[in-house]
Structure 1
Amino acid sequence: MTAITSTRLSDGRELIYFDDPGTNAARAAGPADQRGLPPRGEPGEVRFDALTDEWVAVAAHRQARTHLPPADQCPICPTTPSNPSEIPAADYDVVVFENRFPSLGPALGPVPENAAWGTKGPAYGRCEVVSFTPEHTGSFSTLSETRSRTVIEAWAQRTEALSSLAGIKQVFPFENRGADIGVTLHHPHGQIYAYPYVTPRAGVLGSAAQRYYEKHDGRETLTGSLLKAERQDGSRMVMEGENFSAYVPFAARWPLEIHLVPHRHVPDLAALSGEEKDELAHVYLDLLKRLDALYPTPTPYISAWHQAPLVPELRASGYLHLQLTSPRRAADKLKYLAGSEAAMGAFINDTTPESVAERLRATVPAPATAAAEAAPSQGVPA
């Protein structure tokens, strides 16, 4: 079983070690943070956009956050005498800690009610960093299956813990991978945001799911019916397992887009069984390796875990699934969101979902080397 050890950094932020089965938890816990960091500041603010009925976080303090430091100054590598990092231990397996430069939090609470033009409030919530490995190079796809399983356990545990915090309405684990996506640290890591509101995208997906659920008297879910339709059609399927299947969606928006869906209706990662987590550790690695095998250089991507929002009207119909997307449309070309997509939200895809699925099925995922993962992406503007 994964051992979990919680501690505090010198400014009061929580840090949690998640250890692979068999790891000595006492070793992983390591020494206390000796940096003597100043106390944490107050949260930024959220402002209500009356034109769209959406909340916007204003986090000007993040301008000072770390940006692509050299390897010997990486803030999420294990601590050394010359680099007292965010992680005090000399070694670890997986670590989750509160972001030093959060978009939301550290205070908790609800957004203002009856919002209108001019409404603002504290940016309540919580932002966490998930370091997948102590190794500075590589990516999630180069992890062992055991380590992948530990990360999944961390996602599940943090989803459950964050969902119980005051005012939280949505928990979102994700990974931005690659300079073309805009990462600020090369070290393999992801993040978890706990929002005090339902985000715009989750609201759209949740409303569609709820309408379908009500139309079918609570007997069918929208995500489940789409999975069934894709499996019956078969032309866009990438893989099918005992508990999870992956496909390129019929109306994919991105040049590379894969949805990974559990066969059982569950609201979030915390609701998965041990058997389902075991299979997920394997199939998720397989998908990422297939994505990287498409081109000579690593593929930039956003890995977004869509979990059911924590509001009663959207919770029952919500269905956990992963949306794995990349703007890469050729070995040397990226898709940028321009007029139609950025201004109107009307996507125009440069690839066909069927051809992308065929390529992914035909790809033989080979383990990538750390050196290959460290190489910069060759994507250039279209």
Structure 2
Amino acid sequence: MEFNTNEHQHLRYNPLKDEWILVSPHRSLRPWSGPNGNATGRSCAQRASGIVTPQYESTYVFTNDFPALLEEGPEPPESDDPLFQIKAAKGTCKVICYHPHSNVYLTSLTVEEVVAVINEWIRQTSELGKRYLWVQVFENRGSHDGLFQPPPALPDLGLDDLNLRKYYEKHGRPMLQDYVQKELKKRERIVYENCEWLVVVPFWACWPFETMVLPKRQIQRFTDVDDAQKVALAHTLQALVAKYDNLFKCNFPYSMGWHGAPTGDKFGESHPHWTFHGLYYPPLLRSATVKKFMVGYELLAQEQRDLTPEKAAATLREQSEKRFS
């Protein structure tokens, strides 16, 4: 099969920013029928592709019917022009169902059920990490209601790795472990903590109620999380989402995900400069209907915020760890 830029996935190089953009033209063929009005809450047995999902009682994983990345595809031709560089992009996209009922949120699951979700995140990281350099575990909550504007750009993971490495080489310690210890001492931006995990509004946060989930013990990847950390993480995630929901008495929308050391051919290597961590990016600003938009200045110049991270952390910290009813 001959490569066609209008049909096949590929990466395009942006020489202004020294970064690659994923182009997935095949996704334009995916169907869209509007928001799901499933009143029963039971996850739909028949998906948009026509494939029937079997009955399941815990977590369930399937390959996305209309993924941004495919495992196979024709190779793009090489280009000698530095301004028009294209290279192959291959991967896979999995969907993880947390519970048989789609209207059940993390806060209403049992701790054991949340641990099952965490175990599935870890299993996918382990299995896919054998084949791919990066496994991105993420969740979008609320986007189907039109409530969320995604961040203007994904983090540059190569730059993250470089900066973490530079700090480690200069100070002899992982940057984010130093950060954990200093936030524990200052206590200005802490939202929640238990024996294993710390949640803070980062000193450098951009989104109004952005948070970072950090381990108190140094770990490099999701696959390093032990049983005690899993249980404590389940409590952490439930408490954090409850605080979010309680803030404006709504199902607080967010995009969240996890970052850790590279996988693939680097899976067996130690990367002591890396600290595994989670990031939550919620858009709401002053109420359930008022959200922050990244517009002219933020998109073209630099990220900006009005509400200080310290005030945001104090507001979240005051919220109950049990969701409103």
SS class of match (1:260): strand
Structure 2 letter corresponding to 1:319:
T
Shift of 1:108: 8.4
Residue 340 in 1 paired to residue 290 in 2?
A: no
- Relative to total residues, which structure has the larger strand share, 1 or 2? 1
Q: Is the contact made by 1:175 and 1:303 (CA closer than 8 Å) also made in structure 2? A: yes
The two structures have a TM-score, normalised by structure 1, of 0.72
Alignment of 1:30-41 (within 5 A): none
In structure 1, what is the equivalent of residue 29 of structure 2?
64
In structure 2, what is the equivalent of residue 363 of structure 1?
319
Alignment of 1:128-147 (within 5 A): 128-147=94-113
Shift of 1:210: 0.6
Q: What are the superposed Cα offsets for residues 66-114 of structure 1, whole Å, 9 maximum, x if unpaired?
A: 444434599x92527x999655312331112211111112228999999
Greater relative CO (CA pairs within 8 A, separation 6+): 2
Q: Give the alignment partner of residue 15 of structure 2, picking from 25, 46, 50.
A: 50
In structure 2, what is the equivalent of residue 186 of structure 1?
none
Q: Is the contact made by 2:198 and 2:215 (CA closer than 8 Å) also made in structure 1? A: yes
In structure 1, what is the equivalent of residue 219 of structure 2?
266
SS class of match (1:294): helix
Alignment of 1:148-297 (within 5 A): 148-165=114-131, 168-178=132-142, 179-181=146-148, 200-217=155-172, 220-297=173-250
Q: Is the contact made by 1:302 and 1:325 (CA closer than 8 Å) also made in structure 2? A: yes
Structure 1 letter corresponding to 2:281:
T
Runs of 5+ in structure 1 lacking a partner? 1-41, 184-198, 370-382
Within 1, Cα distance between the matches of 2:167 and 2:77?
30
Runs of 5+ in structure 2 lacking a partner? 1-6
Q: What are the superposed Cα offsets for residues 330-373 of structure 1, whole Å, 9 maximum, x if unpaired?
A: 003111011222123x111121111111111211133356xxxx
SS class of match (1:279): helix
Within 2, Cα distance between the matches of 1:296 and 1:181?
16
SS class of match (1:256): coil
Residue 93 in 1 paired to residue 58 in 2?
A: yes
Residue 103 in 1 paired to residue 68 in 2?
A: yes
SS class of match (1:291): helix
SS class of match (2:312): helix
The two structures have a TM-score, normalised by structure 2, of 0.84
Task: Go from structure 1 to structure 2 and tell me whether the alpha carbon gap of 1:84 and 1:58 turns closer, same or farther (over 3 Å shift).
Answer: closer
SS class of match (2:256): strand
Q: Is the contact made by 1:43 and 1:106 (CA closer than 8 Å) also made in structure 2? A: no
Structure 2 letter corresponding to 1:258:
T
Instruction: Count how many residue pairs are aligned between Structure 1 and Structure 2.
Output: 307
Within 1, Cα distance between the matches of 2:157 and 2:87?
21
Query: Identity over aligned residues, as a percent?
Result: 27
Q: Is the contact made by 2:243 and 2:323 (CA closer than 8 Å) also made in structure 1? A: no
Q: Is the contact made by 2:183 and 2:190 (CA closer than 8 Å) also made in structure 1? A: yes
